[in-house]
Chain A
């Protein structure tokens, strides 16, 4: 198993990205997301795919820390929320164009993640996990008191902000395509890391950090880099999501249950696999959409998440992709 896995990576690393089938599989998925809702102006499909794209983005980026390096980031949603706040603030208070605000948010959140990371990445296991919760709750408490960002009540955007994008209806499509692009980038980033030396180092850290250090892996640097990288795209996604909602408040932006759902998705799909995060997110989002409007079950969201996670952790720790690879080992050559 192990040598087969390394074998696959060696073979892959020998070939340029464009020749690897998985590269094109991702491209196909992204194209499907972009094109299918356009058929018949299917706004309903677009709305549910938008949520799926958000989940895929969050899960893929969480996978970098959780799946590769084995560090549980319970508070990963803080990047999403901060990205949202910075974007909405720059657009509303300083009239920045969306693109510039997004970029600024992404960079700012990555830098902040680096700073936080330097502090907490020396912690191991449970301590790290708890510290990430502390950071999310601390940021939420701070933003709830921060008047320039609206405090607990939040920030609103006027309907005029959609004018530069061609009016509300057109803007909703533009934002959707941008989010699909962010999702695509997340999948590519996840894939690129996995097939690189950097990724190899992260996976080594995930398996046995002390041994990895002894073998020469620069663990503190790699961990900080991974933490910071895993913040960039969720920040962009947050900016787009809250711009579209024209409204952001602390309890929505820093909602720990979204972090939890991202974690369930990563585990459900298969920790450490790129496909897993995507497939898991899509399946989970469909389930969630159904739960949202079901009369009897709308409050069962947490129970379902919890039960799924428990079953996976106890019985199928490899998740969906782990099970697929177990039954059809050939798939590993094509999917990641």
Chain B
């Protein structure tokens, strides 16, 4: 008899967690704590963490009449695709993540997407702009940032307004994101009447740009469009300055948007960057914080200003939250249906995704701006220079 009671007590003990005060929602992701993608990845992660902490402080995520506490499981992918696949498999199979956030950079997002689709889990892509991922047939991918083919549209438009027949050099990193950007930009450049005098990609790990810069000088290019991610972009910017390539205009991807870029000093001056979001943006949100509120909360928590990577990490969170609230459930199919139907504006801008089979998940409504490093009272600061409707300062042209 006592043995039976012991057994019953043991059973109660093991059953107890099912009746805990609150339920947990596990979200899995990897970030690049080490490796070349580190700077941008950490920024994105901080945005996601801010969202999690705000939700938990408010009592948890409201789903129907239940409240879920948010729990993150994160691993370091070391900026490597191979690790991403192993880690996302582990997140789903072992850590039982119900939703996933993407790693940073298109290449890593694409490899993670393979795993999440294989196991049928919803993943929010906050750090990958390449559109090809959405043409491979998916059901559970959702992109919140503008896709790569629109990145250089603003830079080209701004250049055209100053120099309609500019000689343009495309020098970009050989990675999925930068290649996708340049494929579209090439067409736009030709349509705008530019002549393309150089078109070369470099290996992402390149540190010696002198041969390529010599080619830029030989080609007498007026403008440089390209770059890749932070490490190669920053190195390229520095060497262009050292080698006096004397460009009139330069638009580099990603790198100049990081606050760290200011450490380049004079080399940073005048460089433009296509940006998913800037602090000066004035969108009126339908839910979630305003831009100013987001900036303040981020600055209070992390003691630095947010860049667009941090903003996109946060956007992933509030979009997911809104979709779960609309669906009233955490079932993947119901949440995806909500995400497919949403057409909203937040502090980050517009959100609406394509839903037809050949493009499911592609972001169609979000727009980009062009920012430029200028000097304000002797200090280097980023101003929004394009489109004219959103600008906070006039574009500086030519640089030399």
Contacts and interface: CB of A to CB of B under 8 A. Distances in A.
Interface of A: 43-44, 47, 51, 144, 151-154, 156-160, 162, 168-169, 172, 245-247, 249, 251-252, 255, 292-293, 298-299
B203 A153 contact: no
B132 interface: yes
Contacts of A159: 114, 117-118, 136-138
Contacts of A152: 173-175, 201, 203-204
Contacts of A151: 174, 179, 201
A56 B217 CA distance: 52
A265 to B, nearest CB: 18
Given A44-B93, A158-B137, A245 B175 contact: no
Contact of A247 (B76, B78, B80, B110): B110
B85 interface: yes
A243 to B, nearest CB: 11
B90 A252 contact: no
A154 B75 CA distance: 24
B76 to A, nearest CB: 6
28 contacts: A47-B90, A47-B93, A151-B174, A151-B179, A151-B201, A152-B204, A153-B176, A153-B179, A154-B176, A156-B132, A156-B133, A157-B114, A157-B136, A158-B136, A159-B114, A168-B117, A168-B118, A169-B118, A172-B118, A246-B114, A247-B85, A247-B110, A252-B80, A252-B81, A255-B82, A293-B75, A298-B76, A298-B78
B356 to A, nearest CB: 16
Interface string B75-100: 11010111101110110011000000
A287 to B, nearest CB: 15
B111 interface: yes
B290 to A, nearest CB: 36
B103 interface: no
Top-8 shortest CB links A-B = A152-B174, A158-B136, A168-B118, A246-B114, A153-B176, A252-B82, A247-B111, A44-B93
Interface of B: 34, 75-76, 78, 80-83, 85-87, 89-90, 93-94, 107, 110-111, 114, 117-119, 132-133, 135-138, 173-176, 179, 201, 203-204
Contacts of A44: 90, 93-94
B175 A292 contact: no
B83 A292 contact: yes
A298 B34 CA distance: 10
A257 B94 CA distance: 26
A82 B343 CA distance: 45
Nearest to A248: B81
A144 B94 CA distance: 34
A299 B32 CA distance: 13
A44 B135 CA distance: 29
Contacts of B118: 159, 162, 168-169, 172
A44 B91 CA distance: 10
Nearest to A158: B136
B228 to A, nearest CB: 10
Nearest to A153: B176
Given A172-B118, A293-B90, A298-B76, A153 B81 contact: no
B34 A299 contact: yes
A44 B90 CA distance: 7
A87 to B, nearest CB: 16
A247 B176 contact: no
Contacts of B110: 156, 247
A144 B175 CA distance: 10
A153 B107 contact: yes
Contacts of A249: 81, 107
B387 to A, nearest CB: 30
Nearest to A145: B174
B86 A292 contact: yes
Given A252-B80, A293-B90, A153 B137 contact: no
Contact of A156 (B87, B136, B174): B136
Given A44-B93, A160-B137, A172-B118, A153 B175 contact: yes
A246 B111 CA distance: 8
A247 B80 CA distance: 13
A245 B119 CA distance: 13
Q: Which of the listed residues A245, A247, A292 has the most CB atoms from chain B within 10 Å of its own CB?
A: A247
Contacts of B107: 153-154, 249
Contacts of B114: 157, 159, 245-247
Contacts of A245: 82, 85, 111, 114
Contacts of A292: 75, 83, 86-87
A292 B75 CA distance: 9
A300 to B, nearest CB: 12
Nearest to A152: B174
A128 B107 CA distance: 35
A163 to B, nearest CB: 10
Q: Which of the listed residues B83, B94, B136 has the most CB atoms from chain A within 10 Å of its own CB?
A: B136
Nearest to B138: A159
Q: Which of the listed residues B80, B110, B114, B119 has the most CB atoms from chain A within 10 Å of its own CB?
A: B114
Given A168-B119, A247-B85, A298-B76, 11 more contacts: A43-B93, A47-B89, A47-B90, A159-B136, A168-B118, A245-B111, A247-B110, A249-B81, A251-B80, A299-B34, A299-B78
